[in-house]
Structure 1
Amino acid sequence: MTIKVGDKLPSATLTTMTADGPAPIKTDEFFAGRKVVVFSVPGAFTPTCSAKHLPGFIEKAADIKAKGVDEIACFAVNDVFVMNAWGKSAGAEGTVTMLADGSCAFTKALGLEMDASGFGMGIRSKRFSMIAEDGKVTALNVEEPGAFQVSTAEHALTQL
């Protein structure tokens, strides 16, 4: 079942890169007591994700945070090393927290996985964005396959 507005985010463990190497991030702790704009992409370094999705949130980070957002996070079904390299190459440091859902556990718990095997990518996340307040979904924007309209940084700004 797909998560919906009003639902509590599921418990899962994502991974982020720190100065000491990969570190687990428990979603219950990450989202607790905070307003977070989170978006997910089918894959790091893929065309729309790299040219538009992540750059849009980097460019609009100050505007988003000015609306009372504590953190902006991006996750994908990629390993932490790929997410870290992608974040560095895009200039995300200090603006967007890069999170890895390497095992697809969080994505599957959200009910937002898709089969991209036809593109040689296996099971991945659908493209979406959401706003979560204290671990509860207050806005959810899932793109139709191939679309890039409702999960943009600009659209998130209209929902804050």
Structure 2
Amino acid sequence: MPEPDRPEGGLGDAVRGLQDAMHGATIAIARAMGLNATDASALEHISYAQGQIGPTELGARLGISASSATEVVQRLVDSGHLERHRDERDRRRYVLVPTGAATDEVRTHLIPLRQRLDELEASFTASERTAIARYLCGAADVFRDATRNAPER
């Protein structure tokens, strides 16, 4: 929803456009892999997690119940995109790992995308890249703060 006192065409609008485009690309890649949006998002969270992630953490990241997260995990295991392994430190817990085949399939879709992004980056001067990176990192921090500070219901 646009803000009434904010001029259109600013950096915030560009970030919003980027979010929409990234979401669209994620959905397109999910379809190409035979996944629905939730399963693709789950695989993305698991792939990019800092450290190991289990079903409970996955559910929290997706904003779904533990039982729903278990269903997502089972679909991804059944489709050959995900493996469950016992946690070495806590044998009661499972950690989730994308299969090599799933990782390879995602890479086939992401490599051309990454190459185009690298070409775009190369079109900017070093100082422009520094300014863009500073803005994007700052914007990411704003979103992370909003996530951490969101009230629970």
Band the TM-score falls in, shorter-chain normalisation: under 0.3
What TM-score, normalized to structure 2? Answer: 0.27
Question: Given the two structures, how large is their TM-score scaled by the length of structure 1?
Answer: 0.26
* More strand by percentage: 1
Higher helix share: 2
